Structure 1
Amino acid sequence: MTVALTTVPPLRTQQDGPSLAELMTALPVATLVVAPDNRIAEANVRAETLLNMARSAIVGSDVARTIRMAEMGARFDIWHSNKPIAAYDVKVHAGRTAEMEVDLMIAPIIDHEGWRIVSLHTQSQARKIGHRGTAGGARSAMGAAAILAHEIKNPLSGIRGAAQLLESGNGGRDTALTQLICNEVDRIAALIDRMQDFTTDRTLECHPGNIYPLIDRAANIAAAGFASNIKIIRRYDPSLPFAVINDDALVQVMINLLKNAAEALEKSDEPRIRVETAFRHGVSVVVGKGKGSAVLPIEILVIDNGPGVPEHILDHLFNPFITGRRDGQGLGLALVDKLVRDMNGFVQYSRDQEAGESTFRILLPMGMP
């Protein structure tokens, strides 16, 4: 008589916790496990739905064929990199579905060389945390500023000329009043000049530089003025290498973020702002439009313990003329977005409800001294 031997799996108890298969099934986003040879080793139910393919068809397929980048220039080596990659708002052909826009996250599995977890978010996490895949906000601001500059500067020059003629025609008797008119016209013209920062797509002249003197300059300006009653805490990574920056642009970015934080803290009992820096190994993003990837390891954080950004403006936080303040102009964060992009970095917003803190995070490329 032949006895068939069977292996009885060990009994599982509630204390054992969920299995890997159960965890994969429960994940709320489409998730794939990719082997070193780029073959898909596992796929959850969300992935089957998103790709419009059965698990049996997904497992064993080449991930580069299953998830095809619509922008050829963005393909570079996305499936042959051992670094974490975040590709925001990229267009892909996924499985049997039509072209779609997703956030694509690739994370290496520690201690298992070549193995990766791939997740696809169809509802853009980039927009939820305040990051834009395009510079639409900055472009809108550029257009608005150009129109305002054209429509306002011409009559201003006429007003100034009329004041000067008035002064010369009455023998200088009303010099104080005419000078006041000229001074106010000059002040408004200077404001328009600042708004014209939005009206150009010229590339900033960037160079490898030490960010700390620039951050300190902005923090000192804040402490001496608009944030004089707020505790500003500085936590710097002393080993941070140089970043590729434009000095004036970085100072302006930091001042705007510090001012934004200070305004958010006006009604806080114990207002605090933390400025932190760190080096983030392996942080890469896909910049789109055929530009490939960018490595952005230099991190600057501006953190405040205010109430956070109102929910209704989160999706448009970096657009011009969007503000949660009654007396706000809504240009500060739009300029931050433009200047950081001009330095080939990006800025994003997030909220930690548990800690009660809001964070603006800047990522910049590294430069050699």
Structure 2
Amino acid sequence: MTAALAMPDPAVLIAGMVFAVMVIDPDHGIAQVNPVAEELFGRSEARLRGRPVAAFARFEEPRISALLADPEAQFVARDLTLTVDDRQRRVNLTCSPVPAHPGWRVLTFSEIGQGERDEDGDERVELRAPAVLAHEIKNPLSAIRGASQLLERRASDRDRPLARLIAGEVDRIAQLVDRMQQLGSRPATPSKEPCNLHQAIRNAIATVSTGRDGSVSIDEAFDPSLPPVAADAATLEQVLINLVANACDAAGDAEHPTVTVRTRFASGLVFNAIRFGKSTRLPIEIIVSDTGP
């Protein structure tokens, strides 16, 4: 005869849930969260405890904020836009008052994609591994960035650009980690803003050059008349880093190893964007060439 197992503690049950869970007290402060909520909001329970949800997160839908301010509101809201630290997520939200405990509520947040079914009707399991890895990577990144800022204040004029480069690369890695955390959910729409194309190229060249011995010459052939372009600067720099690094590898064994990055206005250049069902005029061109085989 098997002995009856003890009922798990409520805190253990909350910690084991695959959705983000928050317990809200009568003063609208956060009393408890589970690890998934810490990950979703990018903060530990210690930093969240006692603060209202609105202190670090906002919803585009005004009615949701009003409902969260009502201690007796019970609701289910689907496909909401949740913004935390300028990063948007699509989530489903539930709010459940706790019977016999006035003012106490339990909130659950599930990112779009959790618990949904695939095209064959089978339950789709969210891949948590990338998100867990991302969480572990971002902790030391914060320390590295803080150290680079300290170095920048203490460094000489000659070395200060290197400290800024470290901070910039840390930010770029953090953005890549954010994308990794979004695996399995709806892809985020790139943020297009006016971008200095040549500055983005120079940032990419500086990143590639820092990790090399200087045996490959990287030359610029820029058209100085080009205006700012509408682009996601971080994504653009990542593409350029990959292209320049590949070109350096290809030119490494050449007699005169050289990589040239050229920009120009290409009148009449048209890209057929099949996904959008129309042709798009792209008059500005970036060419990365090398002297390799």
TM-score by length of 2: 0.38
Higher relative contact order (CA 8 A, sep 6+): 1
